Amino acid sequence: MPENFLTQPDEQGHWGVYGGRYVPETLMAPLEELNAAYAAVRDDETFQGEYAALLRDFSGRPTPLHYAARLSALAGGARIFLKREDLSHTGSHKINNALGQVLLARRMGKRRIIAETGAGQHGVATATVCALFGLQCVVYMGAEDVRRQRLNVFRMELLGAEVREVQAGARTLKDAINEALRDWVTNVADTYYLLGSALGPHPYPLMVRDFQSVIGREARAQFVEREAGRLPDALVACVGGGSNSIGLFHPFLGDAGVRMIGVEAGGSGDKLGEHAARFNVRGGGRPGVLQGTMSYVLQDERGQIAATHSISAGLDYPSIGPEHAFLHDVGRVEYVAASDADALAAFRTLSEQEGIIPALESAHAVAYALKLARELKPEQTLLVNLSGRGDKDVQSVADAPRPENATDRAHGETVGGVELP
Amino acid sequence: MSRIADTFARLRAEKRRGFIPFITAGDPTPDATRALIVELARAGATLIELGVPFSDPMADGPVIQRASERALRNGVGIAEVLAVIADARRETDVPIVLFSYYNPLLQFGAERLCAEARRAGVDGMLVTDLAPEEATEFAATLRAHELDLIFLVAPTSTDERLRRIAERASGFIYAVSRAGVTGVQSRSSAEAGQLVGRVRAVTELPVAVGFGISTREQVADVWRYADAAVVGSAIVAEMEKRGDAPDLVAHIGGFARGLLPP
């Protein structure tokens, strides 16, 4: 069975029924060209060497593996380790993908880079790498996200990028992707679309996962070295589009003893529109096609895409990467949700207990990790991907009402709950 | 022979060219859409493209995005669109093609969609984000219900892709005049003529050209090399200007007649 996880996707980018390429014809040939260009560098030593050098010298990899002693003691169960992606240059894992794709864009001779951004982390990473290589950079960002992630807008502009505010729809990540796709379809001859998550048409979900897998490869080696050859009992990561989580999970997929838990945004409630938990079937999540890929999509009964809500802009998206949809259906990864209140509480807890201010996205993973650690035994271990740092969220957290009675919760029967061999 | 194939065969026999208006179903109201179908047919439409609204129309420019939003606010989904068509069918036999994105069709269910569409009097479907690679099952369902599946080709399509698309297409081929989203453009695209030439090399199917065609001069230009011209955003923008004025249908009929070269 494990090899089944690792041999996906097929030539057309399918993981089971998920993935594929659902785009207007204008983009089909450019996607084939991108796929061919990526296939040519995937095993190319020069390219991979250049990429590894940038990760080391520009981004500061490897990122540390931190044993969170006080947090573990507070939970009173399993020992909790944090993979410190927040210490990457620009403050999140997004730089891993931006560096890889810009190297590819340069090989393809593209001088203009466009990107979408939700929380602004991918936009900042893209703007940073474009500055490094002297490329033109345009970032699409929903007006609501511009409002709640103002600091990142300023950072992108300092880095020389043009930030275009998107007023359509709910004015969040989904709407930014629509605008980026419209730009790409119009300027496809000279423009490279640097998609920031493991989403969209093939080859993006594969390519982004590959570039982010450095997280899991490093974490696995660091953990094994530190813990005398043992692997963690469970991995926990937040899932918006799903790039930080797939980057952590993928190198462990063949390790049958390692549980994996993806934490979605439970938002403020279970009703459609109140959350961004795509695997919450009662809450409106079911398979569908959005923005180039087939996956779980939050939608109404007519197939119109639903509004989503999360306190965290980076998780506020109605669909999820197709590989996650596949891993959900085969039961290899469990998916749960943490609410806005849970995330806010974890944001404060991690700050107070470990001296680390997490991104609100990552705080969702921390919230569930605290709950899971309590259920596990002290000799067990849990590895959390701390995907980004929280400077950008300080204002949102200050403005939020101080949470009372925040509870960790999982959404009923949609949680995988698989018994692994 | 399908009604679409029949229509184009007649055009060719008479050495005429076709005019294909696009409107979004349910904009401004389902009633207006029914009346507009009839009026556009009278005004000389060869075929009518009816947009089925979708919340995230990534291939559309602002004009058709806004029309979709208006239609969705009116609660118009596939069932309502089909009811409008069934109604219009009492007054016209102009071929009608549904123009949509894949997700609302998929959620309605391909089998149910095709059966009900056929019954309502739909002749074919064009699914913007469904390229032939992902269309195998959907295409088979359409075929089983004798509905045409119209595919887009674009200036970026390679000759190999054009062949692959032509093999699977029926009815006609819709050539996108330029890389971009739908929307009015003042200049005609030189790329479109070249693209139609490449399509002709791989198929006998009629070729319609759309995206950015908004004036009588542009329609005349397209008629020099293609079988039909599609006008969408220009008509939808004109409708937006009139809002729900009582003379909307007559006005749009007049506007459409004004787009036809003598």
In DSSP notation, A129-197 reads: HHHHHT-EEEEEEEHHHHHHTHHHHHHHHHTTPEEEEE-STTSSHHHHHHHHHHHHHHSTTTEEE---S
Structure confidence by residue, pLDDT tens digits, B41-90: 999 999 999 999 999 999 999 999 999 999 999 999 999 999 999 999 99
Which residue in A26, A186, A303 is closest to B106 by CB distance? Answer: A303
pLDDT of B185: 77
CB A329 within 8 A of CB A8: no
pLDDT of A239: 98
Enumerate the residues of chain B whose CB falls inside 8 A of the CB of residue A297. 103
Cα A296 off chain centre by: 15
Write out residues 62-121 of A within 8 Å (CB-CB) of B: none
Question: Tokens representing B109?
Answer: 């269910």
Question: Tokens representing A102?
Answer: 């810009």
C-alpha dihedral (A67, A70, A75, A80), degrees to nearest 10 = 0
| Closest among A340, A210, A322, A326 to A263, alpha carbons compared | A340
CB contact under 8 A, B133 and A302: no
pLDDT of B114: 98
Chosen for mutation from B56, B100, B126, B207 (greatest number of chain A CBs closer than 10 Å) is B56
CB contact under 8 A, B106 and A299: no
Q: State whether residue B133 sits within 8 Å of chain A by CB.
A: yes
In whole angstroms, what is the distance from residue A61 CA to residue B153 CA? 45
CB contact under 8 A, A22 and B129: yes
Place of tokens 């991907």: A385
Enumerate the residues of chain A whose CB falls inside 8 A of the CB of residue B107. 288, 299, 301-303
CB B174 within 8 A of CB B126: yes
| Closest among B226, B145, B144 to B188, alpha carbons compared | B226
Q: What is the largest CA-CA distance in chain A?
A: 57
Q: State whether residue B130 sits within 8 Å of chain A by CB.
A: yes
pLDDT along chain A (421 residues), means of 10: 69 96 96 97 97 98 98 97 98 98 97 96 98 98 92 96 93 94 94 98 98 98 98 98 98 97 97 96 94 98 96 95 97 98 98 98 98 97 98 90 52 32 28
| Closest among A358, A311, A341 to A404, alpha carbons compared | A341
Chosen for mutation from A185, A290, A302 (greatest number of chain B CBs closer than 10 Å) is A302
Q: State whether residue A299 sits within 8 Å of chain B by CB.
A: yes
Q: Which residues contact B258 (CB under 8 A, 6 or more apart)?
A: B216
Q: How far is A186 from chain B (nearest CA, A)?
A: 4
CB A251 within 8 A of CB A243: no
Q: What domains, with CATH codes, occur in chain B?
A: 6-258 (3.20.20.70)
Does pLDDT of B92 surpass 60? Answer: yes
Active centre residues of B (catalytic): 49, 60
Chosen for mutation from A14, A21, A22 (greatest number of chain B CBs closer than 10 Å) is A22
Beta-bridge partner residues of A260? A235
Q: State whether residue A12 sits within 8 Å of chain B by CB.
A: yes
Provide mean pLDDT across the span B166-192. Answer: 88
Enumerate the residues of chain A whose CB falls inside 8 A of the CB of residue B156. 25-30, 188
Measured from the Cβ of residue A375, the count of other Cβ atoms closer than 10 Å reads 11
Three-state SS annotation for A229-272: CCCCCEEEEECCCCHHHHHHHHHHCCCCCCEEEEEEEEECCCCC
Three-state SS annotation for chain B: CCHHHHHHHHHHHCCCCEEEEEEECCCCCHHHHHHHHHHHHHCCCCCEEEECCCCCCCCCCHHHHHHHHHHHHCCCCHHHHHHHHHHHCCCCCCCEEEEECHHHHHHHCHHHHHHHHHHHCCCEEEECCCCHHHCHHHHHHHHHCCCEEEEEECCCCCHHHHHHHHHHCCCCEEEECCCCCCCCCCCCCHHHHHHHHHHHCCCCCCEEEECCCCCHHHHHHHHCCCCEEEECHHHHHHHHHHCCCCCHHHHHHHHHHHHCCC
Render the burial of A98-128: b for 16+ CB within 10 Å, e for the rest: bbbbbbbbeebebebbbbbbbbbbbbbbbbb
CB A259 within 8 A of CB A246: no
Q: State whether residue A189 sits within 8 Å of chain B by CB.
A: yes
ipTM reported for the complex, 2 dp: 0.96
Which residue in B58, B72, B153 is closest to A182 by CB distance? Answer: B58
pLDDT of A168: 86
In whole angstroms, what is the distance from residue A316 CA to residue A176 CA? 12
A302 → chain B, closest CA residue: B104
Q: State whether residue A190 sits within 8 Å of chain B by CB.
A: no
pLDDT of A224: 98
Q: How far is B14 from chain A (nearest CA, A)?
A: 32
Write out residues 55-74 of B within 8 Å (CB-CB) of A: 55-59, 61, 65, 72
In whole angstroms, what is the distance from residue B4 CA to residue B6 CA? 5
pLDDT of B190: 83
pLDDT of B126: 98
Enumerate the residues of chain B whose CB falls inside 8 A of the CB of residue A12. 133
pLDDT of A1: 44
pLDDT of A173: 93
Provide mean pLDDT across the span B148-162. Answer: 97
pLDDT of A8: 82
